[in-house]
Amino acid sequence: MENHRTDVGRRIALRREQLGLDRGAVAEKAGVAPEYLRYLEERPASPSYASLTRVARALDTTVAELSGGPPPSGTAPPEVSHREGLRTLDEDTCWELLAEHSVGRVAVATDGGPAIVPVNYALDDRAPHRRALVYRTAPDAAPAHAVDADELAFEVDHLDEAQRVGWSVLLVGPARPVTDLDEIQSLTERLTGPEGEPDASEPWAGGERDLWVRLTPHRVTGRRVTLA
């Protein structure tokens, strides 16, 4: 794992250890998932300036210290006085945006109460499951609580704080486990990169994630916002 870490990841882990904090404490303070913080520390991640800023604040340091240099020029967002535009996205555009990303959040009801959990996802557009979304998880993990839900909410968004633009897409519909062994094998083969290398749908949480969940939404909505 050491060979897969970036300098940013090493600095984040080192600063956290210097403060005597575990990932859960830092993640909560930064407003990110512990799995995402682990991903930043252990994988060759390229976090956005906004995400790195939140982590830096949680670690009582600066983006420059974590990145090993000055913050990128022009990244400081301008003062915002009013909302310039909020536009509703059509369904085709929503699916196009979903296809360009691989991490979303699923809303589930757990034994400890409602939770919103990040997961890696991929689109499955084969008939008869056209325009469906799949993700892998462990049977005892929080995202598994979505199985057999008739009204599962799944959200993907992107915000560029420097440019003051962003969008969000919401999918709502039933979630079902994929139980057919041939279909599971087909999904595994299709959603795996060249020469057996996993693609972005590979769960970053690690461990065995052999439960496939398919969301076939009956409602797809999205919005794009531009701030002055």
Residues of the chain with CATH 2.30.110.10: 83-227
Among residues 138, 158, 156, 155, which one has the least CA distance to residue 147?
138
Among residues 95, 100, 122, which one has the least CA distance to residue 193?
122
- What is the tens place of the pLDDT at every residue in 176-215? 998 888 887 877 776 554 444 444 455 555 556 678 899 9
CATH 1.10.260.40 fits 2-67, yes or no: yes
pTM attached to this predicted model: 0.56
Report the distance separating Cα 151 and Cα 217, nearest Å.
9
CB-neighbour burial class of residue 1 (10 A; exposed 0-12, middle 13-18, buried 19+): exposed
CATH 2.30.110.10 fits 83-227, yes or no: yes
- What is the tens place of the pLDDT at every residue in 25-48? 998 888 777 877 888 888 766 677
Report the distance separating Cα 201 and Cα 121, nearest Å.
5
Amino acid at 126: R
Tokens found for residue 83: 């909302």
